Amino acid sequence: MTISIEDLKKKIIYRSTYRGTKEMDIILTYFTKKYINELNEKELICMSKLLDLDDENLYKYKMGEEIPMKIEDNKVSKLFRDFIYKKD
């Protein structure tokens, strides 16, 4: 089954907004809003995979801490690591 880019974007937006922890809801919502329309299909898939991580490990990764798993080194993971949250 193939998913359209628009459906993938909707899925990413939903998953970035309703995480479980308020901190990650905020960080990922702003990160997604900033980059989602700049990413190609391959990068959107990478973003979706990044969102598969649990909040604790994703937050630790963002903060540069050690985590017990390997995160794929790609454009999206680098953008996320370097992203600085600024409220609009």
User: CA torsion sign, 9 to 13 to 15 to 16?
Assistant: positive
- CATH topology for 5-82 is DNA polymerase; domain 1 (1.10.150)
- Percent of the chain exceeding pLDDT 90 equals 88
- Percent of the chain exceeding pLDDT 70 equals 98
Residue 1's pLDDT is what? 57
